[in-house]
Amino acid sequence: MKRQGVFQIAIDGPVGAGKTSVGRLLARRLGCRFLDTGLTYRAVALAALDREIDLKDSAALGSLAATMRLAVGGDPDGESKILVDGKDVSARLKSESVSDAASLVSAVQEVRRHMVAAQRRIAASESIVMVGRDIGTVVLPDADLKIFLTATPETRARRRYDELVGRGEAASYDEILASLRGRDRRDSERDASPLRAARGAHVVKTDNMELEEVVSAIEKLAGGG
């Protein structure tokens, strides 16, 4: 249940559709909280890697998710800060090894149950823009506005490639495209909360749109802007 006067905006979509940039800027414009739920699965994945838990051992991953202390903080820039057992692990969550592990960990039903409960608790008390894969379908099915943000795999791979090259990192477009297709497949074919547009979601295709345009379009749908 959400408190009166609290609004919820759910943004889902495949990897690289721009959910995080869009969600963060939208939350800033609306003056509300932002939560990137992918970070919660990444935190479980990192903890599993650190503790050398076998990523195929669903029972061990489930009990890790049940017992680890996960806290989500925010700073004024809208960045989500993730604490595991009191330690800030935010800087370690974006590596390729954590991305791959998170894709496996997030397919475990018991892990999802604990993360969804934590995400709902956060959304109950204050207005929020929440982004992920199952926000409109599972976490916040009664959200005031549901968005399914998407773009072709080629567009998404190109954005990722440009981002890495822009940071001076070595990158291969073909490898990025192949890895993105693999993660798309895992996210949409898994049994537990597969990625799909929620009932009533507005589908926004971002191929030919700039970040600002996407955010303004969503603001309009939200009744502001």
Binding site for ligand DC (CB under 6 A): 15, 37-38, 41-42, 102-103, 106, 132-135, 183, 187
Alpha helices in 78-172 (DSSP H): 96-105, 109-125, 153-166
Q: What are the tokens at 161?
A: 């490639």
- CB 4, min distance to ligand DC, A: 26
- CB 223, min distance to ligand DC, A: 25
> Is the CB of 109 or the CB of 220 nearer to ligand DC?
109
> Is the CB of 20 or the CB of 216 nearer to ligand DC?
20
Q: At what angle do helices 153-166 and 173-189 cross, to 10 degrees?
A: 130
- CB 150, min distance to ligand DC, A: 13
Angstrom distance (rounded) from CA 20 to CA 119: 16
> Is the CB of 42 or the CB of 146 nearer to ligand DC?
42
- CB 166, min distance to ligand DC, A: 19
| Three-state SS annotation for 169-216 | CCCCHHHHHHHHHHHHHHHHHCCCCCCCCCCCCEEEECCCCCHHHHHH
> Is the CB of 15 or the CB of 53 nearer to ligand DC?
15
